[in-house]
């Protein structure tokens, strides 16, 4: 039974801590279909975020059964234009990459997943990533190109994502 696994107990505790943490008022988490390994997340981006401020972005965290030894996957369900988010919504951030040496030599093992990371640290890192895209290793090449070559157009497209997120 999956719910008796140590990872399920850890995730239940981490979810409860996040739901009770008043400092995380900009992050809301809950379970998808009562499955502890599938979390629905709402990121309410503060107005001081220069690109996506004021947006409400839905995402999903999918945890493997051997969490915390392996990272979860994160996917935005609300469409978002960002160099580090694939067009399908999958998030590409170092701390969500499996804990091993990068075959391309771009990331050190220390930048990748470590079991000390929690759903909270992941989501805070993703919010930070929204403000500071990494265009050196993009998941969305077109967004990275626009970020570098036409920042004003990129900002307009990001602002449209914010407006659209409020209508969803």
- Please say if 92 is a catalytic residue: yes
Token pair recorded at residue 144: 């990275």
Annotated catalytic residue, options 29, 49, 92, 161? 92
Nearest by Cα to 74 from 51, 58, 53: 58
Cα angle 7-27-138, degrees, rounded to a multiple of 5? 85
Q: Which residue has the tokens 């771009």?
A: 106
Cα angle 61-166-11, degrees, rounded to a multiple of 5? 20
Task: Give catalytic residues, as residue numbers.
Answer: 92
């Amino acid at each position: 039974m999956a719910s008796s696994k140590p990872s399920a107990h850890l995730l239940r505790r981490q979810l409860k801590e996040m739901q009770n943490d008043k400092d995380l008022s900009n992050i809301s988490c809950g379970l998808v279909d009562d499955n502890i390994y599938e979390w629905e997340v709402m990121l309410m981006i503060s107005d001081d975020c220069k690109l996506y401020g004021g947006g409400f972005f839905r995402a999903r965290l999918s945890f493997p059964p051997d969490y915390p030894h392996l990272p979860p996957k994160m996917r935005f369900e609300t469409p978002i234009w960002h160099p580090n988010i694939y067009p399908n919504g999958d998030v590409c951030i170092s701390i969500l990459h499996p804990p091993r040496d990068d075959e391309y030599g771009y990331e050190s093992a220390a930048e990748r997943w470590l079991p000390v990371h929690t759903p909270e640290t992941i989501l805070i890192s993703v919010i930070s990533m929204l403000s500071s895209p990494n265009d050196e290793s993009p998941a969305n090449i077109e967004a990275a190109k626009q970020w570098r070559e036409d920042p004003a157009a990129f900002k307009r497209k990001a602002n449209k994502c914010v407006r659209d997120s409020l209508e969803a």
